[in-house]
Amino acid sequence: MRRRRFLTTAASAASAVAVAPLASLVGCGDVTLGGEPQPVPPSNVVLSLPKDMYAHPGAPTEWWWHIGTLRAGERVFGFEINAASFAGQGFAFTQVMLSDVARNTHYQRTTLFVPLTFDPSRWAASDPSRDWYARLGSVDSKLNAFAVVAPGSGYTSPPQVEIVGGGGSGAAAIAALDPATGGLANVLLVNPGSGYTSQPEVRLVGGGGGSGALVRALHTYVAMSAPQSDPTQDIHVQALLVDDPSLTEVRFDLRFSQQGRPFFVWGTGINPGGSGSDLQTNNFYFSLTRLAASGTIELGGETFAVEGTTWMDHEYGAFGTAANPVKWFLQDMQLDDGTCLSNYATLEDGPPELGERRASTATIQDASGSIWYVPTFVTPIERTWTSPVSGATYYLKLKVEIPSFDAELVVDALMDAQEFPVVGSPVYEGAASAAGTFRGRRVRGTAWLEQNL
């Protein structure tokens, strides 16, 4: 179980799958009394690579996302590049962010794609006999989305959107109002048209007497690809982020290759607390947690050659119902002894207070590739951050205890402001560090914090 987004500009995404009862964990990794549990047998894994790296036609949701820490010498960057389909709800989205730790600056944008700008049957490759890809937005067309630069005021009906110039034709968009302010809330591209070699001008007409709104056309995209021979190697990811609200452009051109066995979440790749083994009723999930990463990030007129060891998640299937959203928080870690782990807890009883210990669960993979799924505890400690945009408050430092591995680890955000302030369901996605003990020995490493509280 990982992330659950609820994009209120389209049909809401479905809720998280509940944490499996602790009693069910014994079947995944049998407990050895007085010592570590036994790892999950590889024969219990239900996924198969490379086949399950590809898209799964009919899946109500499917996404691939890259996260982690990259370095350009002493300069540290946290990043996320996410492409997701909610075909069952009729939309897709990208989320791209960069945390420039040295400058304490965060760049981010969430972009929504609807029918005609998103084809559920073609946005990602589903045929394992061909090269793999996942793409949202266009690298070539200079019109993929819009930014509301100024909302204006006094609108009693949505203005018509006219798209002029740019060398293309056929594009269409609709505007939506914020009923509380009478200003423009967003503009959604509903037909991308063709031939746009530069960003067109956007004009607003009508709107029942309103005025002052300004809208800018955006060129933004996520494009991922990998060779058919082994799509866990030489994964090429390109993305163009136009920051909301500064409009600063950030370009990513990165390559990733997995080192070692994939990381099968829950030990098996299928949620033990889900229903059955069908795409419509259960959730499937694996990660590539030892990706040798290199490439470039362009920011503010500078190009940074970056490298690191990063993490990719591929999750697909069912997420429950939007009527019962589940809040959660999660901590991913890549430790210097070769261990990777993903710890999470859902928050049916509301978020804990600082210092309040909660039950959680973790998937753990050691350097040999063995995988365990075990009960754990997580405690938010010391500090929080409240977003000035969404008003949401997030934990910035958490203690994770894993009794069966004699482990106590502290995950600490590298900087405070690392939020996607999605209206209705903001989410924290941020680079962090990890330090503490695992198997009784001192360890440290990179980490990632994710929270929807």
Residue 21 lies in a domain: no
Between CA 331 and CA 343, with CA 337 as vertex, the angle to 5 degrees is 15
Q: Does residue 102 sit in the same domain as residue 225?
A: yes
Q: Count of domains in the chain?
A: 3
pLDDT, one tens digit per residue, over 247-278 is 999 999 999 999 999 999 999 999 998 888 88
Q: What is the pLDDT of residue 29?
A: 47
Residue 417 lies in a domain: yes
The closest alpha carbon to 118, from 95, 156, 100, 144, belongs to 144
pLDDT surpassing 70 at residue 27? no
Q: What is the pLDDT of residue 277?
A: 87
Q: Does residue 153 sit in the same domain as residue 284?
A: no
Q: Does residue 262 sit in the same domain as residue 357?
A: no
Q: Does residue 398 sit in the same domain as residue 264?
A: no
Residue bearing the bigger pLDDT, 20 or 446: 446
Sequence-separated (6 or more) residues with CB below 8 Å from residue 135: 83, 123, 124, 221, 222, 223, 224
Residue 382 lies in a domain: yes
Residue 35 lies in a domain: no
Q: Does residue 224 sit in the same domain as residue 212?
A: no
Q: Does residue 345 sit in the same domain as residue 375?
A: yes
Residue 11 lies in a domain: no
pLDDT surpassing 70 at residue 408? yes
| Residue 326's pLDDT band (cuts 50, 70, 90) | low
Helix (H, G, I), strand (E, B), or coil: what is residue 368?
A: coil
pLDDT, one tens digit per residue, over 75-100 is 999 999 999 999 988 999 999 999 99
Q: Does residue 195 sit in the same domain as residue 64?
A: no
pLDDT, one tens digit per residue, over 353-405 is 999 999 999 999 999 999 999 999 999 999 999 999 999 999 999 999 999 99
Domain boundary among 174, 192, 218: 218
Between 17-21, 341-345, 369-373, the lowest mean confidence (pLDDT) is in 17-21
pLDDT, one tens digit per residue, over 170-198 is 999 999 999 999 999 999 999 999 999 99
d(CA 146, CA 390): 21
Report whether 79 contacts 97 (CB < 8 A): yes
Q: Does residue 214 sit in the same domain as residue 226?
A: no
What's the chain's average pLDDT?
Answer: 91
Residue 42 lies in a domain: no
| Residue 3's pLDDT band (cuts 50, 70, 90) | very low
Which structural domain range is residue 367 located in? 325-453
pLDDT surpassing 50 at residue 25? no
pLDDT surpassing 60 at residue 33? no
Report whether 413 contacts 397 (CB < 8 A): yes
Q: Does residue 419 sit in the same domain as residue 362?
A: yes
Q: What is the pLDDT of residue 323?
A: 64
Residue 39 lies in a domain: no
Report whether 354 contacts 345 (CB < 8 A): no
| Residue 6's pLDDT band (cuts 50, 70, 90) | very low
Residue bearing the bigger pLDDT, 301 or 3: 301
Q: Does residue 359 sit in the same domain as residue 311?
A: no
d(CA 357, CA 365): 24
Sequence-separated (6 or more) residues with CB below 8 Å from residue 368: none
In this structure, the strands spanning 132-136 and 221-226 are antiparallel
pLDDT surpassing 80 at residue 322? no
Q: What is the pLDDT of residue 177?
A: 96
Q: What is the pLDDT of residue 15?
A: 29
Report whether 27 contacts 113 (CB < 8 A): no
* Owner of token pair 């993979």: 365
Q: What is the pLDDT of residue 75?
A: 97
Q: What is the pLDDT of residue 303?
A: 98
Q: Does residue 208 sit in the same domain as residue 263?
A: no
Q: What is the pLDDT of residue 173?
A: 98
| Residue 24's pLDDT band (cuts 50, 70, 90) | very low
Domain boundary among 188, 218, 248: 218
42 — phi, psi (to 5°)? -55, -30
Sequence-separated (6 or more) residues with CB below 8 Å from residue 274: 17, 281, 282, 283, 317, 318
**Highest mean pLDDT, choosing among 29-33, 201-205, 325-329:** 201-205
CATH number at residue 334: 2.40.370.10
Residue 182, both tokens: 């009478």
Q: Does residue 337 sit in the same domain as residue 410?
A: yes
Kindly state the average pLDDT of the residues 282-291.
97
**Could you please report the per-residue DSSP string of 194-252?**
E--SSPPEEEEE-STT-EEEEEEEE--EEEEEE-TT-TTSSEEEEEEEE-TTT--EEEE
| Residue 325's pLDDT band (cuts 50, 70, 90) | low
Domain boundary among 180, 202, 218: 218
Chain centroid to CA 308: 19
d(CA 281, CA 101): 40
Report whether 139 contacts 272 (CB < 8 A): no
Report whether 271 contacts 44 (CB < 8 A): no
Residue 286 lies in a domain: yes
Kindly state the average pLDDT of the residues 404-429.
96
Task: Give 372's strand partners.
Answer: 364
70 — phi, psi (to 5°)? -120, 150
Residue 156, both tokens: 């009693």
